[in-house]
Amino acid sequence: MLRFTDEHEWLKAEGVVVTVGITAHAAEQLGDLVFIELPKVGARLAKGEAAAVVESVKAASDVYAPLSGEVVAVNDAAVADPATVGTDPQGDGWLYRLRLDDPSEMDGLMDEAAYAALPK
């Protein structure tokens, strides 16, 4: 099951590790992505902290850490081919994986229906 933030990030939990990416809406708004900067494996992120940067021909945008934890993996394929994030943002275009400090923080995120109801 996916969870969402109002900053247009999605998360998919697998135990205490979550995969994080940007939503299809965010990818659409950005347009053609040309550069991605991801956090380093082993980095500690605090909820709400800038964790990554996605840059398009239109603008650069920060991607915020939806929850606190340690980065355990990054998607090097997305760095090599940023277009993947635009064409498959909630699949092969994932950005990084985070081992959560407190898995109960997931309870504060939106489900798909609540995210879809947000004004865009």
User: Which pTM value belongs to this model?
Assistant: 0.94
Determine the pLDDT at residue 120.
74
Burial-class residue 34 by CB neighbours within 10 Å (0-12, 13-18, 19+): middle
- With a CB cutoff of 8 Å and minimum separation 6, the contacts of 58 are 30, 31
Give 3-30 pLDDT, tens digit per residue: 999 999 999 999 999 999 999 999 999 9
Mean pLDDT on 69-79: 97
Across all residues in the chain, what is the average pLDDT? 95
The answer, yes or no, to whether residue 95 has pLDDT greater than 80, is yes
Give 43-68 pLDDT, tens digit per residue: 999 999 999 999 998 889 999 999 99
Mean pLDDT on 67-94: 96
Determine the pLDDT at residue 43.
98
The one-letter amino acid at 65: A
